[in-house]
């Protein structure tokens, strides 16, 4: 709805001022104009490209990986980044050549809200603890950045399992919020990169199995103590997959 309203407002302003006549402003180009301060530039990006734009691209395609794979967001466009881009392109009906040109980046922008989060997830849903993102295991800035990275992986998971909504029952927690709900000490929730997703057992196992192909190293579900009513995903240094 936000993007549609923005599209309409921009079009009316430009037509009324005579700045542009007969040009359609698409959702993608509207987002590209604001870009939440994090534009992906220097297109096309391809093997051998390096820099901040590559890192921003990697964050947005990090959920398009093989089972157990984690795509590094190091700003270096190597073969694994090319394959993640290729999978992203194939998912959304683009030419799957692994090169991030304008059509690929426009598609990313169409999936992105004005604050750089993907359209189907939000900071408000991810953080029901406080408004500052402070008090966790890392700085507020780092916790918010970690949350955004995990949201993009869940956006990929959502697309791969049929675009059914994925509700988040718990995301970021400060240390005090984590203690209040009985969370384990050092929980990934306190780092901002973890999310709990409730639903039926069939649904939770579907999320669990899909998360294996979406770049998560911590996946806890049915049968793991305290996780029989939700699937938990997060990022740990080593793989921890339990349940389903």
- Among the residues of the chain, which ranges form H helices? 2-17, 27-34, 52-61, 79-91, 102-110, 123-126, 140-160, 175-180, 201-211
Q: Which of 178, 167, 172 is nearest to 147 (CA)?
A: 172
Please tell me the number of Cα atoms within 13 Å of 9 on its side-chain side: 7
Rg of the chain on CA atoms, in Å: 19
Q: For residue 163, what are its two tokens?
A: 């675009």
DSSP state of 184: P
Q: For residue 209, what are its two tokens?
A: 């199995």
Q: For residue 213, what are its two tokens?
A: 């192909």
Q: Of 7, 189, 208, 227, which residue is the catalytic one?
A: 227
Distance (Å) of CA 154 to CA 61, 69, 165, 212: 11, 15, 10, 11
Cα dihedral 200, 244, 231, 65 sign: negative
Q: Tell me how far the alpha carbon of residue 200 is from its chain's centroid.
A: 23
User: Measured between alpha carbons, how far is 213 from 156 in angstroms, rounded to an integer?
Assistant: 9
Is 7 one of the annotated active-site residues of the chain? no
Give the catalytic positions in this structure. Answer: 227
């Amino acid at each position: 709805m936000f993007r549609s309203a923005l599209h309409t407002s921009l079009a009316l302003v430009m037509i009324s001022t005579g700045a542009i006549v007969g040009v359609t402003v698409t959702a993608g180009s509207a987002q590209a104009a604001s870009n939440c301060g994090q534009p992906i530039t220097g297109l096309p990006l391809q093997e051998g490209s390096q820099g901040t734009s590559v890192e921003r691209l990697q964050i947005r395609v990090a959920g398009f990986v093989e089972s157990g794979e984690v795509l590094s967001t190091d700003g270096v466009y190597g073969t694994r980044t090319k394959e993640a881009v290729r999978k992203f392109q194939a998912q959304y009906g683009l030419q799957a050549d692994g090169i991030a040109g304008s059509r690929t980046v426009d598609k990313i922008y169409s999936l992105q809200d004005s604050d750089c989060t993907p359209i189907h997830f939000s900071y408000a849903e991810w953080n029901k603890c406080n408004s500052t993102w402070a008090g966790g295991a890392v700085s507020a800035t780092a916790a918010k950045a970690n949350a955004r990275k995990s949201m993009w992986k869940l956006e990929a998971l959502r697309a791969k399992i049929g675009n059914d909504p994925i509700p988040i029952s718990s995301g970021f927690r400060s240390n005090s919020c984590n203690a209040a709900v009985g969370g384990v000490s050092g929980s990934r929730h306190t780092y901002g990169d973890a999310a709990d997703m409730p639903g039926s057992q069939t649904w939770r196992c579907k999320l669990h199995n899909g998360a294996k192909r979406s770049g998560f190293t911590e996946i806890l579900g049915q049968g793991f103590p305290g996780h029989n009513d939700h699937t938990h995903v997060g990022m740990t240094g080593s793989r921890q997959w339990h349940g389903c």
